[in-house]
Structure 1
């Protein structure tokens, strides 16, 4: 790999601590601290993303590159650092946070001018580790590697994964926070993004009243990541906030399209670029449930449940608005844009559902149709992905029993099938109002409804195999997630087996990693 061109433009532009001291501490008035990866004596490579490496300008992997992938023996041009940010966690102000397990190597630019930040996750403690060890376990690292790549191939904005390595050491974690810590295999993942800037970076500086730095950071962000903004003065910051709102709404709608539940939408886990970031206790939707949260830490309130993600994203944007107010200085404007957010989100959401159902435009009555559909999905616990796959072939009422009984997580009776039959008749009536052909409607559905989603039980089985020295399922999952709109492996296109209903890591997870 070509790592000689990695630069540190962020630390060249902002105040920081260059002490290379990983000890937990407050770092007021700085945005980063230089810190070195801890280093590992016996690392080994599990998987390397050749396509991504070529795309971002690093080139092909060679055996000597293993050192870089785990943060060992770094060349002189790389000065690793961790950034400081703040955030609201589960609705409460948490003060200074920061990259507790993430260390930035810097930024690389490919031949086309594409800039990409490169970051180790699990390479040791930083000043922002909050008394933790900064390591990561294999379990969470496999989940992040595979899911971030799955989201990319689903065409959803996301961070990506470059490599996954064993560290050669064990890490102690209490997976369910129930007083039963256990040793697990340690791992380091390298993840990439155009930028890892979060809402929390802006919140921290604003809370510290470092308004000059806040302005510098916002200018830096606009110049580097929002080239469409050409305005000046206060209007520039207004346009910036409006664009962040749009990107955030569009991301939420994409999550709903594929049934993704993030699980921990704290403001420090929100990308300023509208990327999916920080894959912790996430889940793809199995049975449709607006109240589903995959995060045990989110119980009993279910703040970050599937059906609340749009609402929570708006709440998080309120916090960003408060942080940016010293630059925008227009309370009425901010309130207007935040109120508009809900309208924009729901318009985009309903347009997305039209695509999933094969409707070429939103008509009067569609909102009621969607509400009725949601009620049926929840009542009969129908599998979200499989439901739409079945609907692609639903040219008439057909045999409802064979169509739906194998995608329900509950027992369907005659009354259930009668309700489903009525729904299908209504659906066929709505399809007849399209101004496109039936074949075009089917094609529209196929573009919007994946055949494969990376379910938690599949990840659970894959992780078990890797821990036992096997990688066959890992490579099958990678091939499947790279082709999510095709059915590469039919055995993956089935509902979650009942034996996994109450298994930790399949139905619910904690934030432990």
Structure 2
């Protein structure tokens, strides 16, 4: 039995703030009557929408490898929940929590800024695939989206903090383009360790050391004991699950034998909305979509009371205050990277979240 302060998965309060406030893909407007998964996972353009409803792909033989106790506490989840089959099935994507409807976000962005065709006049042109598998050039921002990430649900904890839980490696979505939608164990361990390592000391991650015998040296980000209380703004990782799925990666290190084992990380953040959600709407001249997205973020995600930024800024409206707060938090995050010796990261704009805390 869970204590009065801790909850089972079934007892978690779930919200629909994002999905009830933002425009949905017209092909998935009724989450209770979705098209076939074959259609849902076919790469296609999604217009006038911020997200598409779909369910994760079934994961074969899921097995829990690691769980963050502090992330469990963050969600008010009883620690014993991680020992249940229900936990494994939900966070592998094999089961959907009752009353919830998973979704994938639509966004755009700039990737590398290099033209595929030297003769092409636009230096920001990027090669893409349309839904008929013909190649064509599109000017930045490139149409992207959650290609292998699917958000499960939103919840709120006892401190009235809102959290969005998302699976990475849960299969294809309409935004997968040429990718398979999966993640490998090698990169998933790295994400789990780095997400939690950025947040708190190594002693919280001791259980992950059991994973290392299965990995080649080049696959490891750094030993758990080298982690310190970095307190760098970051997203969180709740769980790491390995599957029996074979996943092939052409760009894998030479000592990472192919195929690799598939894995799924459950990531946690106040919101997974990002700069790219604005970019795709702006590039399509969808002013109404930009307005809806900005209003939602200013109302539910980044709420900055008037007067907080000083007397000289009191005349700013809520969108100006939101923009300044996003800029401040982004600068704070990059400064945090540099403070621990990381001077450069591949910061594709579509991947930068608009919410850092």
Which TM-score applies when normalising by structure 1?
A: 0.51
Contact 1:15–1:31 (CA under 8 A) maintained in structure 2:
yes
CA distance in 2, matches of 1:137, 1:14: 32
Larger radius of gyration: 1
Q: Is the CA contact (8 Å cut-off) linking 2:23 and 2:48 kept in structure 1?
A: yes
The alignment status of 1:269 with 2:313, answered yes or no, reads no
Distance 1:262 1:159 in 2: 18
Residue 107 of structure 1 corresponds to: 154
Q: Secondary structure at the match of 2:333?
A: helix
| Matched-pair contact (CA < 8 Å) for 2:329–2:356 | yes
* Residue aligning to 1:13: 21
Q: Which one of the candidate residues 178, 200, 207 is aligned to 2:276?
A: 200
Counterpart residue number, 1:35? 54
Deviation at 1:53, TM superposition (A): 1.0
Range with greater deviation from structure 2 (203-212 or 163-172): 203-212
For 1:233 and 1:2, how far apart are their aligned partners in 2?
44
**Contact preservation (8 Å) 2:154, 2:164:** yes
Q: Match of 2:317? A: 235
Q: What corresponds to 2:196 in structure 1?
A: 149
1:80 to 102, 107, 121: 102
SS at match of 2:153: strand
- Secondary structure of the corresponding residue to residue 110 of structure 2: strand
CA contact (8 A) 2:304 2:322 kept: no
**C-alpha distance in structure 1 between counterparts of 2:186 and 2:16, whole Å:** 30
Any idea what the Cα deviations from partners look like across 1:296-320, whole Å, max 9, x if unmatched? xxxxxxxxxxxxxxxxxxxxxxxxx
- Residues 141-290 of structure 1 correspond to what in structure 2 (within 5 A)? 141-153=188-200, 154-176=230-252, 182-230=258-306, 235-260=317-342, 263-274=345-356
Cα deviation code 1:418-454 (max 9, x no counterpart): xxxxxxxxxxxxxxxxxxxxxxxxxxxxxxxxxxxxx
- CA-to-partner distance for each residue in 1:462-507, whole Å, 9 max, x for gaps? xxxxxxxxxxxxxxxxxxxxxxxxxxxxxxxxxxxxxxxxxxxxxx
1:2 aligns with 2:14: no
- Name the SS for the 2:246 alignment partner: strand
Alignment coverage as a number of residue pairs = 274
Kindly indicate whether residue 64 of structure 2 is the aligned counterpart of residue 45 of structure 1: yes
Can you give the 5+ residue segments of structure 1 that lack an aligned partner in the other structure? Answer: 276-513
Mapped partners of 2:16, 2:93: distance in 1: 16
Cα distance, 1:197 vs structure 2: 1.2
Alpha-carbon distance in 2 for matches of 1:262, 1:67:
37
Given that 1:222 and 1:229 are in contact with CA atoms closer than 8 Å, whether structure 2 keeps it comes out as: no
CA-CA distance at 1:270 after TM superposition: 1.1
| Structure 1 Cα separation of the partners of residues 70 and 58 of structure 2 | 26
CA deviations on 1:379-418 (whole Å, 9 max, x unpaired) are xxxxxxxxxxxxxxxxxxxxxxxxxxxxxxxxxxxxxxxx
Q: 1:200-250 deviations in whole A, cap 9, x for unaligned?
A: 011111112221221121121122232223389973222222222211111
Q: Distance in 1 between matches of 2:192 and 2:144?
A: 23
Distance 1:75 1:251, change over 3 A: closer
Give the equivalent residue in structure 2 for 1:62: 83
Deviation at 1:94, TM superposition (A): 3.9
SS at match of 1:131: coil
In terms of mean alpha carbon deviation, does 124-133 or 222-231 score higher? 222-231
Q: CA deviation at 1:83?
A: 0.3
CA distance in 2, matches of 1:25, 1:219: 27
Q: What's the offset of the Cα at 1:181?
A: 8.8
Structure 2 CA distance for aligned equivalents of residues 31 and 262 of structure 1: 30
Query: Closer, same or farther in 2 for the Cα pair 1:217/1:32, shift >3 Å?
Result: same
- Contact 2:24/2:49 (8 A) holds in 1: yes
Q: Give 1:261 deviation, angstroms.
A: 5.0
SS of the residue 2:192 aligns to: helix
CA contact (8 A) 1:174 1:181 kept: no
Taking the TM superposition and a 5 Å limit, the aligned residue runs for 1:368-407 are none
Deviation per residue, 1:252-297 (Å, 9 max, x gap)? 111110113563201112111236xxxxxxxxxxxxxxxxxxxxxx
- The answer to whether residue 222 in structure 2 is matched with residue 140 in structure 1 is no
Asked if 1 retains the 8 angstrom alpha-carbon contact of 2:304 and 2:325, the reply is no
Cα separation, 2, equivalents of 1:234 and 1:28? 31
Check conservation: 1:229, 1:240, Cα contact below 8 A: no
Q: Distance in 2 between matches of 1:254 and 1:74?
A: 36
- Structure 1 residues 222, 32: closer, same or farther in 2, change over 3 A? same
